[in-house]
Amino acid sequence: MNRASAAQRAALLDVARALGAARLSVGTAGNASLRLGADGGYLITPTGLPPEDSHAEDMVEMSPDGVAHGRRAPSSEWRLHHDLYAARPEAGAIVHAHSPFATALACRRVEIPPFHYMIARFGGATVRCAGYATFGTQALSDLALEALHERSACLLANHGMVVFGRDAAHALRMAVEFEMLCEHYWRAVQLGGPALLTAGEMNEALARFDGYGQPADNPAHPPGGQA
């Protein structure tokens, strides 16, 4: 089995290294993956190998039945990636990171409330925090999928964040945006707590995000249309 192209392997390695450069993950913490096809196969970063010491050939190809192919062992969180691809066909790439602000909130086991309209960027009026389970377990995957219902990001209790996007570059951008949102919330809490948006205000934001983006990103907004 060797469906992954050199370009896909390079793209995934670029994401893994970018997570470190953006201080979203350090050392061997965190992982990322890229869907390879509709059958659920994917490419994932290896376990225990820092991105700066990795090569494109170290990215591990996973078959739909959860079997690893390649010269390295897959990330210990491969079950989470496997189950998320199976449950969410719109997910083209996944990022799991131990970023500072998301992890701080996750260690408080808090749901992020509607303090800013950018919450809607991730699919709902809140960002949930999944319950705690040991890393790499089926229990953690099950809890994460529950927290991600109708969402594209969640916190993992006492652990970190999970974000997915339509491709590797998009998933990385979403992870960076999510970490910034977590920082904004953390800072607002230090000031005494933010004022929250109403349900109506969040519903309006959610509706506007349905048509958000450039034509290449959003087929519902045809070229030549008004912004």
The amino acid that residue 83 corresponds to is D
Is 77 annotated in the active site? yes
Identify any residues that bridge with 96 across adjacent strands, giving them in sequence order. Answer: 31, 162
Work out the widest C-alpha separation in the chain, in whole angstroms. 55
CA-to-CA separations, 227 to 88, 205, 208, 220, in angstroms, rounded: 29, 16, 12, 12
Q: Which of 52, 61, 77, 150 is catalytic?
A: 77
Pick from 196, 195, 199, 215: nearest CA to 207: 199
Alpha carbon distance 197, 64 (integer Å): 41
CA-to-CA separations, 68 to 4, 8, 9, 64, 222, in angstroms, rounded: 13, 17, 15, 10, 41
Q: Which residue has the tokens 């890393």?
A: 135
The amino acid that residue 199 corresponds to is A
Pick from 162, 142, 42: nearest CA to 96: 162
Answer whether 33's CB lies under 8 Å from 45's CB: yes
Could you list the active site residues?
Answer: 77
